[in-house]
Amino acid sequence: MSYKNYDQYSDYDKKNIIEKLYTQEGLSFGNIAEQLGTYANRIRRDAIKYQINIRNKSQAQSNAIKTGAHKHPTKGTERSEDTKNKIGKSVMKAWDNLDDKELEKRKKRSKQLWNKLSDDEKQHRLNLANQAVRTSSKVGSKLEHFLLEQLVSDGYKVDFHKEQILTNTKLQIDLFLPTMNIAIEVDGPSHFLPVWGEDTLAKNQKYDKKKTGLILGKGLKLIRVKQTHDFSKSRAFVLYDKLVKAIDKIENSTKKSIEIED
């Protein structure tokens, strides 16, 4: 549809045209101004005068992408691993620098979102979490696989979840460096927090204590990696740097065990 010059319309017609083009069709003030032979700020002022709801910056950006006026800033963009890691580390640093008040605010928000879920959705998510824990115990966690990949890439000889390495037991060592006699145990939150209840935590800690005794009793050295956060590659790379330093330190000292955390 073609329009006359903006000045030729009455206030009533101007209001209807702006509502149609801006509110219903999602055009920007600039697009509307081009069709009406005027300038964008004039259309914006009149929209305010006619009490038409003005989109905020976020809504405007979203609308521009939706209508094709602007290209999505990241869609279709393939980032390199180095770029992804830099972005991840930046996000991680921002989280680590949050004060207690902001952390508590975000925890409260997460709890509110959880409480809004239906009972079926809550149960579904809990089932997925339980399944992930069971799978992790059998095939190893994401962090374990990441550390394995990095160690092998850096030339370390690594045995992964090798069974019966401890005499007369069926226990496994998560990551074992046989040429250095160093055992690496990766402990997720259930090893130090009551994720599945106090009884389960007590059993896990009793198991860990027994395993530590068997490892050290066999004359091996032990590095325990405490995973306090959900897995992310950026945090994992930082943790891997700590692990390499711990390996060098324990290999060249009389220390029998070291603990690091992400």
Domain that holds residue 34: 9-67
Strand partners, 259: 224
Structural domain count of the chain: 3
Are 174 and 254 in the same domain? yes
| Residue of higher predicted confidence among 106 and 251 | 251
Distance CA 243, CA 262 (A): 10
Q: Cα angle vertex 228, ends 222, 230, to 5°?
A: 120
C-alpha to C-alpha distance for 35 and 44, rounded to whole angstroms: 14
Predicted confidence (pLDDT) per residue in 56-109, tens digit: 766 766 666 666 665 555 555 565 656 655 655 565 566 566 677 876 777 787
What tens digit of pLDDT does each residue of 182-192 get?
A: 999 998 888 88
DSSP letters, the chain, are: -----GGGS-HHHHHHHHIIIIIIS---HHHHHHHHTS-HHHHHHHHHHTTPPPP-HHHHHHHHHHHTSS--SSTT----HHHHHHHHHHHHHHHHT--HHHHHHHHHHHHHHHHHS-HHHHHHHHHHHHHHHHHHHHH--HHHHHHHHHHHHTT---EEEEET-STT---EEEEEETTTTEEEEEE-GGGTS-TT-HHHHHHHHHHHHHHHHHHHHTT-EEEEEE--S---HHHHHHHHHHHHHHHHHHHTSS--EEEEE-
Residues 175 and 238 in one domain: yes
Residues 89 and 186 grouped into a single domain: no
Domain boundary residue, one of 44, 67, 90:
67
Q: 73 in a domain, yes or no?
A: no
pTM over 0.85: no
What's the pLDDT tens digit per position in 229-243?
888 888 899 999 999
Kindly state whether residues 254 and 184 are assigned to the same domain: yes
